[in-house]
Amino acid sequence: MQLFETIALHYNYAVTIFLMVLGLYIVMVCGNMIKKLVGLALFQTSVYLLYISPAKIIGGTAPILDSKFSLYSNPLPHVLMLTAIVVGVGTLALGLALVVRINEAYGTIEEDEILKRRSEENLNTEKVEKV
Amino acid sequence: MRSDIIFRIMAKIMIPLMLVFAFYVHFHGDFSPGGGFQAGVMIAGAVVLYAIVFGVRSAQCIAPQSVVSFLAPFGVMLYSGVGLCSLVFGKNFLDYSVFAHHPKHAHHIGILLIEAGVIVTVASIMIAIFYAFVERGR
Amino acid sequence: MELYINAVLLTLLVVVTLAIMCQQNLFAVVVLFSAYSFLMASIMIVLDAVDVALTEAAVGAGISTVVFLGTLYLTKSAKIRSGQVELLPLIIVFLTGVVLVYGTYGLPTFGLANAPIHMHVAPFYLEQSIPQIGVPNVVTTVLANFRSFDTLGETTVVLTAGIGVMLLLKRRNKKGGDRT
């Protein structure tokens, strides 16, 4: 039982780090831009967890004051994360709008294909200049 | 999806409830979880549901593009206007004590005003983002 | 008890994240991300952050799914090519994870009432909310009163992001003038 409790107490931070690292991996490895943005959103969500976890007090309650309770969790990280979520969806929409424009310009949202197309275009312009 | 009767009836039942719940979350935010940010997103969600079920053209009749793009900066201006109002009356920026004599009433009025600014901006920006994505696909 | 509920939900979160990583179908990725947001909202409730849970459920599972689906429709992309496991990113990510987990052992124990985070400004907010402002929901008090400068900044950022999206996606007329 003691072991379970020790694991449960550290589990929160471990999962936070795991989500963070997995989001980083998706951003690094996936060439598809939509999946890259999903990875970025995963990373962002893990940061919410990183802020909310220390605010919790075991045996406490949500920070809405009432005479029946005396122990409340910390309201400050809640405020910071609440605004961060709304700003996060704004920046996510901005990134997706950029993806839409990239798709219109190159016809694909795969990173390596875009790079290939760009190098081809550069070669073509160099040939034109030589002629 | 316009011909699907289940979606249409359910949307007609759900959308008023969503809007009422959004305003409950907004105005009861002092005593229960919620506030301008959440309520704004819920209102935007109701408009998105309407647009999905009845078509974007009819959604733009109830929330026209011009109104949405006017209201988005208006919310931020309302918020900063509250701050400037207290500056004009010789207090610090966003000091609510100028609105009423009793400090608690003043704080209530101030919180209501700036939450109104937040709900207006968030709701209209979310609707505007949705319209922008839909219009691009035409 | 709440510790164990928390642990189960966190495990589910890990499972959903692994599914997102392995999934090749983009539509499935978006739906899984929506499920992820709902799970995250449940965890926020267990961690006593009810306001954050409400926001996460409305924003993460609602609006961002709509925006993702809109992008999928516009880019006409359904599947991605199966990428092989690359070794160098895996090593970098693993090392980063190990260092960060080592760092968490310096943090105070989870859920302790006398951790440093609860000693600084939080007691002031909790004590002064009713006498100064008369609002029981401390999150609203901090958001709209003690830290209203922050909220003004955040609202401006949301406005700026929306303006950016509108500028990027607005079409121009062939004559060069702006469309309605």
**How far is the C-alpha of A28 from the C-alpha of A36, rounded, in Å?**
8
Q: Is residue C172 classed as helix, strand or coil in its secondary structure?
A: strand
Least CB-CB distance to A64: which of B32, B122, B133?
B32
Least CB-CB distance to C48: which of A60, A91, A93?
A60
pLDDT digits (tens, 9 = 90+) for C93-114: 999 999 998 888 888 888 888 8
Tokens of B26: 């907004």
pLDDT digits (tens, 9 = 90+) for B30-71: 888 888 899 999 999 999 999 999 988 999 999 999 999 999
Tell which B residues from 5 to 24 touch C, by Cβ distance under 8 Å.
none
Distance, in angstroms, between A50 CA and closest chain C CA? Answer: 10
Q: What are phi and psi of B100, to 5 degrees?
A: -155, 165
Chain A residues within 8 A of B126 when measuring between CB atoms = 89
Contacts of C106 (CB under 8 A, 6+ apart): none
CB-based contact C152 B80, cutoff 8 Å: yes
pLDDT band, very low/low/confident/very high, at C9 (cuts 50, 70, 90)? very high
Average pLDDT, chain C: 87
At residue C82, the pLDDT reads: 63
Average pLDDT, chain A: 89
Tell which A residues from 72 to 91 touch B, by Cβ distance under 8 Å.
82-83, 85-86, 89-90
CB-based contact B33 A82, cutoff 8 Å: no
CB-based contact C49 A62, cutoff 8 Å: yes
In degrees, to the nearest 5, what angle opens at C-alpha C98 toward C-alphas C93 and C100?
95
Tell which C residues from 133 to 152 touch B, by Cβ distance under 8 Å.
133-137, 139-140, 143-145, 148-149, 151-152
Ramachandran quadrant class, B35 (left: phi over 0; alpha: psi -120 to 50; beta: rest): left
Please give the average per-residue pLDDT across B75-84, as a whole number.
92
pLDDT digits (tens, 9 = 90+) for C121-134: 888 998 888 888 88
Residue in C5, C40, C47, C65 to test binding to A, most A beta-carbons within 10 Å: C47
Q: Is residue C147 classed as helix, strand or coil in its secondary structure?
A: coil
CB-based contact C55 B94, cutoff 8 Å: no
Place of tokens 């505007």: B128
Chain B neighbours, 3+ Cβ pairs < 8 A: A, C
Contact A88, C37 (CB under 8 A): no
**How far is the C-alpha of B43 from the C-alpha of B120, rounded, in Å?**
10
Between C151 and C171, the higher pLDDT residue? C151
Least confident of A115-119, B94-98, C123-127, C158-162: B94-98
Least CB-CB distance to B45: which of C62, C137, C158?
C62
At residue C23, the pLDDT reads: 87
C-alpha pair distances (Å), B76 with each of A93, B61, B82, B119, B129:
20, 24, 10, 10, 17
Question: Which DSSP string do the residues of A8-66 spell out, in sequence order?
Answer: HHHHHHHHHHHHHHHHHHHHHH--BHHHHHHHHHHHHHHHHHHHHHHH--TT-B-SB--
Chain C neighbours, 3+ Cβ pairs < 8 A: A, B
pLDDT band, very low/low/confident/very high, at A123 (cuts 50, 70, 90)? confident
Chain C residues within 8 A of A12 when measuring between CB atoms = 6, 10, 110
Residue C180 has pLDDT above 50, yes or no: no
Distance, in angstroms, between B6 CA and closest chain A CA? Answer: 30
CB-based contact C63 B126, cutoff 8 Å: yes
Chain A residues within 8 A of C11 when measuring between CB atoms = 15
Please give the average per-residue pLDDT across A91-106, as a whole number.
92
Is the Cβ of A64 closer than 8 Å to some Cβ of chain B? Answer: yes
Least confident of A44-48, B37-41, B88-92: B88-92
CB-based contact C161 B125, cutoff 8 Å: yes
Contacts of C47 (CB under 8 A, 6+ apart): A52, A53, A55, A56, A73, C6
Chain A neighbours, 3+ Cβ pairs < 8 A: B, C
Tell which C residues from 140 to 169 touch A, by Cβ distance under 8 Å.
141-143, 147, 150-151, 154, 157-158, 160-162, 164-165, 168-169
Q: Exposed, middle or buried by CB within 10 Å (0-12, 13-18, 19+), for C52? A: buried
Contact C122, A76 (CB under 8 A): yes
pLDDT digits (tens, 9 = 90+) for C132-146: 888 889 999 898 888
Please give the average per-residue pLDDT across A91-103, as a whole number.
93
Contact B37, A86 (CB under 8 A): yes
Please give the average per-residue pLDDT across C160-172, as a whole number.
89
**How far is the C-alpha of A73 from the C-alpha of A27, rounded, in Å?**
33
Q: Is residue A77 classed as helix, strand or coil in its secondary structure?
A: helix
Question: Which DSSP string do the residues of C30-48 spell out, in sequence order?
Answer: HHHHHHHHHHHHHHHHHTT
Is the Cβ of C159 closer than 8 Å to some Cβ of chain B? Answer: yes
**How far is the C-alpha of C139 from the C-alpha of B88, rounded, in Å?**
28
**How far is the C-alpha of C90 from the C-alpha of A25, rounded, in Å?**
7
**How far is the C-alpha of C91 from the C-alpha of B78, rounded, in Å?**
51
CB-based contact A86 B122, cutoff 8 Å: yes
CB-based contact A25 C89, cutoff 8 Å: yes
